[in-house]
A and B are shown apart, each in its own frame.
Chain A
Amino acid sequence: MSLARLAAALRAGELSPREAVAQQLARIEEVDGDVNAYVAVRAEEAVAEAEALERAGPGGALWGVPVAVKDMIDVAGTPTTAGSRILAGNVPREDSAVVGRLRKAGAVVVGKLNTHEFAYGALTTSPHFGPARNPWALDRICGGSSGGSGAAIAAGLAAGTLGTDTAGSIRIPACFCGATGLRPSTGRVSNRGVVPVAWSFDTVGPIAATAEDCALLLGVVAGHDPEDPSTVDSPVPPYAEQLAGGVRGLRIGIVDELVEQAESPIGAAVEEALGELRALGAELVHVEVPLLRHAGTIQQAMQFQEATTAHMPWLRTRLPDYADDVRARLLVGLFLPSTLYVTGQQARRIAFEEMRRVFGRVDLLAAPTMPVLPPRIGEETVEVGGREVPYRLALIPFNSPWSLVGSPVVSVPCGFVEGLPVGLALVGPRLGEATVLRAAHAFQTATDWHERRPAPASSTAAPAGRP
């Protein structure tokens, strides 16, 4: 059941918050041993919170809805480990801003979700907590870094989740798990109480079953936070109420360079999805995005040094406690000149102005979310265009261009290749979440890719089933 339908059922009294939470906990107990989406389940606390909600009576858009958050996001009294050994004993006293807003809306946080260590990688194969497994094929990764969030949605282990995204960490697992994930504009959602990766790129956002669910979650967590200087002081539109406008008259720019770079069956699925949007009334045009090829380099010129700066105290005192890949990435920032950071910021300004011009001609951009299918756990390379390339490098051109300029991006399921989900990315101008979600919702009204769920735990990809 989607989050929107569950919230409506709770409001209508068809089930109680206690029943909704109990059913969710039972599902986690039954399935998560295979999937490993959760690093902590707040069973007792969640039941007590559901009981308190029942005593208080209905109230809030998410009253009684069981949700889960990535283990980068503080929930008072529950450890925030960031998937690391270093933060094993870190128990926050206060909720993060986003969890505070979820609670105010009546949601019940049932647990913390698996992540790549410190969200600094796209695999979610933690040496400390074990890999989160893709519910579509348990021998494959679910992407990352918000891998637990994607896996939880695919396996029905939460009605909605929050992840974080610095360079693709919401979009990638949403794509690989057949979920819908929204990276909001940088600054749209508060990062207070969230472990940082790279401050100028980080954002919290939803991964859920549908664009409607993402709209509901974003409507709850978005907004200015006077205690977080990264947030923008701009009114939050009623996203869920604005979903119904359709795509008629919207001008969507196809980023051909990325469609062509993707593995051909994935590119074909994306083109078919774009045909669906055209049939719904969108105007499709072909666009070139300036600096597309350089966007990853520009982001990395800043991201490495921001991340290293955030970790300096632990690099000095806890270096052996990092996973090998994360340790290497964090050390890199020590050896880059400070002038490179400023060069990156100069290039970012140019990219920002170029993208402003692009969005003067189109309402949205469209591209594949990822160029490849989820690799098997342990595989470090993927084949793109007949070339073997490191997985971490294959994902950059598809994700960094939009992170770099702080644009909102939604990934929606748009087909299956070899029994594994494929995602369409729809990118909007800054603070254009309402348009991005409206287009995603229109697509999901006309298709059923988002409704398909994996067969019970399987070690190999199987044909997509119906709910």
Chain B
Amino acid sequence: MAPLPQLEELRQVAARHGVTPTDEDLEAVRDFLSVLLPAFAELEQLVPPGTPPAAFFLPEEGP
């Protein structure tokens, strides 16, 4: 997982989506990402390569 992005990087990504957040918005996003990115990096280590993904809508049987 990439390191915590700078405001300018976030602004450019948002612009590519046609979204124009304020600096305050992007600071709030960075606060979230500072918690989320390390957890997501850990998650990537948890999943064995080749594991098939769950279906989007879960099947009827089990667990």
Q: Which residues of A contact B (CB under 8 A)?
A: 186-187, 199-200, 229-230, 232-234, 291, 294, 297-298, 300-301, 304, 312, 315-316, 319, 324, 327-329, 331-332, 334-336, 340, 342-350, 352-359, 393, 405-407, 429-431
Contacts and interface: CB of A to CB of B under 8 A. Distances in A.
Contacts of B3: none
B53 A345 contact: yes
A200 B57 contact: yes
Contacts of A199: 56
10 contacts: A186-B57, A229-B57, A234-B60, A324-B28, A327-B25, A328-B25, A336-B36, A344-B43, A354-B63, A430-B62
A358 B51 contact: no
B17 A312 contact: yes
Given A316-B19, A353-B63, A187 B58 contact: yes
B3 to A, nearest CB: 12
A36 B18 CA distance: 37
Contact of A319 (B20, B56, B57): B20
Contacts of B58: 186-187, 200, 352, 405-406, 430
Interface residues of B, number: 36
Given A331-B14, A331-B21, A200 B63 contact: no
Given A328-B29, A343-B44, A356-B63, A334 B14 contact: yes
Contacts of A291: 46
Contacts, number: 127
Contact of B21 (A234, A304, A319): A319
In the A-B complex, the 6 residue pairs with the closest CB atoms? A356-B63, A345-B53, A328-B28, A355-B63, A348-B54, A349-B54
A335 B43 contact: no
B59 to A, nearest CB: 8
Contact of B63 (A186, A232, A359): A359
Contacts of B43: 294, 297-298, 301, 340, 343-344, 347
B60 A200 contact: no
A144 B18 CA distance: 31
Contacts of A229: 57
A352 B36 CA distance: 22
B22 to A, nearest CB: 8
Nearest to B51: A346
